[in-house]
Amino acid sequence: MSSVQTRIFVTHGLAYLPQVDNIIMLNNGEVVESGTYSQLLRESREFSQLIRQHKLNEAGTNDEANDKGMFHPGLSGLGRRK
C-alpha cells in the first residue's frame, strides 16, 4: 500500500524554502502566488524581491557582527564569501 503524506509548514524562515516541494504565498489571508522555489524565483517579482531583500539583510547582519568581533563561521551556516 502506498502512503502519501502532506505536511503544512508555516514559517518566516526563508532559508527553509528551497527544501520544500511547493510554496504558497499569502497576503492578508489570500493566496497570491504558489509554485516551487525555482519557479517563484524565475516568474514572481514579489517572491524574488523578498528573497533578494532577505539575503541582503542577512549579509548586512553578518558583516556587522563580524566587524564587532561577534561573528563565528563555525556557528553559522552562512559564512561570508570574499
> pLDDT, tens digit, for every residue of 14-56?
888 999 999 998 889 999 999 999 999 999 888 989 898 988 8
* Domain count along the chain: 1
In-domain check, residue 54? yes
In-domain check, residue 38? yes
**Higher-confidence position of 60 and 53:** 53
Contact yes or no for 51/64 (Cβ under 8 A): no
**54-to-2, 14, 34, 50, 73 alpha-carbon distances in Å:** 39, 8, 19, 6, 19
In-domain check, residue 8? no
In-domain check, residue 51? yes
Range of the domain at 61: 18-71
In-domain check, residue 50? yes
pTM beyond 0.85 = no
In-domain check, residue 52? yes
In-domain check, residue 33? yes
Contact yes or no for 51/58 (Cβ under 8 A): no
